[in-house]
Amino acid sequence: MAFQFLHINTVARAVPKKAATKRWPLRDVLAEAGRETAACPHIDAPRPPKRLFGLTLPDVERVTLRQAEEARDAKGRKLRKDAPVMLSGVLSYPVALADMDERARADYGAWEARSLRWLSGRYGDTLASVVRHEDENYPHLHFFIVPHLTGGKSLDFEAVHPGIAAREAEKRAGKSLKAANRAYCDAMRAFQDDFHTHVGLFHGHLREGPRRRRLSRGAYLAEKRNAERRAETMIKTESRLSELEAFKLAAAGADKVQHRAKLLEREVSVLREENRALKLEKADLLPKLEEAQKKGERYRFDASQTAKAFATLVALVTTGRDRFRTALLSMPRPRQVGQDVWQRLRGFLTGADDDEGMPFERRRRGHERE
């Protein structure tokens, strides 16, 4: 098989009793996809699926059932058990696992990534989960779509199923049932075409198989080879476009870097000017600062000398000991004490400024005797 396989079905909580074709209810669909015991007797050696996107399958079931209970039909009634509540789809890669070589496995990885992008782009946040199976002949993906509720609480299948959307549009336009069914089929063919355009073409997959178009084997193989060459060309083109886009982004980034560098150069220039101005200001202020520091040191020294002289004077007055008088007489004049005051103090201490001509010590003793 070298042609694409894409299939979608609506899924209900229960299968209608008069269903024309074999259908599976929601529980069985998710059980088979999850490879639950007894749910996949057609698989010789079931293996757990690989979740590639979205919710786990039990969570998909819970979300779908919860929304189904909230949903209403066109008449505002609760949904019937056999009313559709979810979309289930399958995407299959057309190379058997047993035939896959290294190149095919690399191509499968690219196909899977492209398929996931297509699903996400088409279904948005209604895409609930995507899982991969590798325990059957062909690797394939199962995807599950949970439609939104409309304002009237109905499930919006027209937004996620192109066939239903086209059919219902024809019915609303008053067209016949035959016209509505024709619109359904046309929309589903366009759906397949869209997947082929965005995914299959890039991997050499044909849109349809040879039997459907009644091709001979030779014509089919020739078309297959052409499809493969076209896929190679498209991938190369896509790669070159990606490189070009990356180059454009790099060039734009380089322009931004250059612009930023110019802004930084301007900022550095301004900072250098400010630095020069600060240096000049510092050079102007430095002598003043040094002078202020010297004045402060002199003030502290003078204050210390004054305090020392005052303390010595107090000690002399209170004790009358000569050593304090000698200490005072040997001190230099503190700067905070005026010259005349200091001279009078020295005269008082030496007796030169005493009316009675008595030394300080004798006068103190005389006062003590009185």
The yes-or-no verdict on residue 291 having pLDDT over 50 is: yes
User: Is domain 5-208 given the CATH code 1.10.20 in the classification?
Assistant: no
pLDDT in tens, 20-40: 677 889 999 999 999 998 888
Give the chain as a 3 state SS string: CCECEEEEEEEECCCCCCCCCCCCCHHHHHHHHCCCCCCCCCCCCCCCCEEEEECCHHHHHHHHHHHHHHCECCCCCECCCCCEEEEEEEEECCCCHHHCCHHHHHHHHHHHHHHHHHHHHHHHHHEEEEEEECCCCCCEEEEEECCCECCCCCECHHHCCHHHHHHHHHHHCCCCHHHHHHHHHHHHHHHHHHHHHHCHHHHCCECCCHHHHCCCHHHHHHHHHHHHHHHHHHHHHHHHHHHHHHHHHHHHHHHHHHHHHHHHHHHHHHHHHHHHHHHHHHHHHHHHHHHHHHHHHHHHHHHHHHHHHHHHHHHHHHHCCHHHHHHHHHCCCCCCCCHHHHHHHHHHHHCCCCCCCCCHHHHHHHHHHC
pLDDT in tens, 321-361: 888 778 878 888 877 778 888 788 778 777 765 444 444 45
Work out the average pLDDT over 120-129.
96
Dmax over CA atoms of the chain, in Å, equals 153
Choice between 362 and 18, residue whose per-residue pLDDT is larger: 18
pLDDT in tens, 254-278: 777 777 778 877 887 787 887 777 7
The yes-or-no verdict on residue 192 having pLDDT over 80 is: yes
Averaged pLDDT score across all residues of the chain: 82
The alpha carbon dihedral of 340, 341, 344, 345 has a sign of negative
pLDDT in tens, 203-216: 878 777 555 555 55
Choice between 208 and 16, residue whose per-residue pLDDT is larger: 16
**Is-contact 324 316, C-beta < 8 A?**
yes
Q: Is the pTM of this model over 0.75?
A: no
CA dihedral 129, 132, 135, 136 (to 10 degrees): 90
Q: Report the C-alpha gap between 201 and 205 in whole angstroms.
A: 6
**Is-contact 15 99, C-beta < 8 A?**
no
pLDDT in tens, 48-70: 999 999 999 999 999 999 999 99
| CATH code 3.30.930 region(s) in the chain | 5-208
